[in-house]
Amino acid sequence: MKITRKIVFLMGSLFFCIASGATILGVHFIKKNHNNKIEKIKNIWEEEYKGRFKLKYHLDHSVRDNIPTKETLLNSFNNLIKKNNVDAQLKYIEDNNLQDIVKEQENLKFIYKNTILNLNVGKFDSEKIKHEHREKDIDFRKNNPKQVVKIGYFLRKDGTFEISKFDENIDTVPNKLPIAINSLKNAFNFNINETINGIETWDTSNITDMSSMFWRAENFNQDISNWNTSNVRNMSDMFFKNENFNQNIGKWNTSNVTNMGNMFSNTTKFNQDLSNWNTSNVTSMSQMFYLARSFNGSVGNWNTSKVQSMSFMFRGAEPFNQDISNWNTSNVRNMEFMFAGALSFNQDISNWNTSNVRTMEKMFEEAKKFDQNLSNWDVKKVEEFSGFIRDAEKMNENKIPEKFRKKDK
């Protein structure tokens, strides 16, 4: 009996020790995991936020129009923490000044599970927002670096990150795009090169803004067909006045794009098949192919149901003559100069829904071949229609809405 009691006592003690040890190990693990999260959060702040605030400059003085509020900064920080696979949500210790603009060198106090983090904003316009160049490639007398070894970027007012503009001579960049970057706006304005080594492998799945990315990069003609554009919302001015670009980008996912205004405006060679583009969310196609000297691609199956502006869309696009009779134009308000100077266009668009259009000024001016009957168009809301068919040699008043007749000068 005594032996049995002793065994029971020993077993109980053993189980108690095991349970206690497990508890201690569990507490230790939780604490270690918590500390690891805190370190990761601090590292994210140091790398992605501290010193990445950029001032705007107006004449001779700086302004803070580009600096986010504390609330916007907090939301941005939490989103990036999540993007880095850290399961944590921060708050400010005090949240009564959330609409205040962040100040230079300000110490911000965040809290996560009773741990207080004191994080410094750093200097505005610091070196971190600038690209780091390969020194041996720089001719300081000419100030023309060609290779970037580290990409600079900055935090925008809306809490997203934008890449800093590259010098026009840059022909080589890192082949990995920092995960924080959401915007490639203006990245390669005026770039002089045909190719820019490194960008072909960029993971662009986080990018929401590609507006003006190759604006007036007149020689650029690189294969970027494999880019992931599934989250891009803005492609306006992307290839504006690019005289050489003619790559196949027909497989791009454009399902979230809302703005394609000026996208191929003033392009000289571009003439690719874009028939598979999903344009269901696009609201602006204004000047999209303005003075596009070569474009005559099939776009007839595009979903244009949300488009509100088609002004100047094919203005001076001399070769364009595709069937776009099935376009849904029920929400379009502006069609001014849409086919002005489109010398080849002569498609039947008599069934278009024009009931919401406000202006058709010079819509077919100098459209030399156009001779379709538009007399049944609903133009009740049209207020401006001067020059509707001015110098459109094959058109006459019998083919235009009665409201426009004898007033078209």
Do 221 and 106 share a structural domain?
no
Do 272 and 212 share a structural domain?
no
Residue-range definition of the domain harbouring residue 26:
15-120
Tell me whether residue 132 is in a domain: no
Q: Tell me the pTM.
A: 0.88
Do 271 and 371 share a structural domain?
yes
Q: How many domains does the chain have?
A: 3
Tell me whether residue 125 is in a domain: no
End residue of a domain, out of 120, 154, 176: 120
| Per-residue pLDDT in tens (0 to 9) along the chain, 409 residues | 556 666 655 565 556 555 555 566 555 557 788 999 999 999 999 999 999 999 876 555 555 678 999 999 999 999 999 999 999 999 999 877 899 999 999 999 999 999 999 999 999 999 999 999 986 555 554 566 799 999 999 999 999 999 999 999 999 999 999 999 999 999 999 999 999 999 999 999 999 999 999 999 999 999 999 999 999 999 999 999 999 999 999 999 999 999 999 999 999 999 999 999 999 999 999 999 999 999 999 999 999 999 999 999 999 999 999 999 999 999 999 999 999 999 999 999 999 999 999 999 999 999 999 999 999 999 999 999 999 999 999 999 999 999 998 754 4
Do 109 and 59 share a structural domain?
yes
Tell me whether residue 135 is in a domain: no
Tell me whether residue 129 is in a domain: no
Indicate the DSSP class of residue 200: G
CA 296 and chain centroid, separation: 26
Q: 244 - beta bridge partners?
A: none
Do 237 and 294 share a structural domain?
no
A 10 A CB-CB count for 220 gives 22
End residue of a domain, out of 120, 154, 172: 120
Contact (CB, 8 A) for 349 and 324: yes
Tell me whether residue 250 is in a domain: no
Do 395 and 276 share a structural domain?
yes
Residues 6+ apart with CB under 8 A from 63: 55, 56, 57
Do 376 and 272 share a structural domain?
yes
Tell me whether residue 10 is in a domain: no
User: Tokens 């971190």 correspond to what residue?
Assistant: 128
Q: Which of 84, 78, 88, 74 is nearest to 38 (CA)?
A: 88
Tell me whether residue 333 is in a domain: yes
- Dihedral sign, Cα of residue 155, residue 203, residue 222, residue 131: positive
Do 401 and 302 share a structural domain?
yes
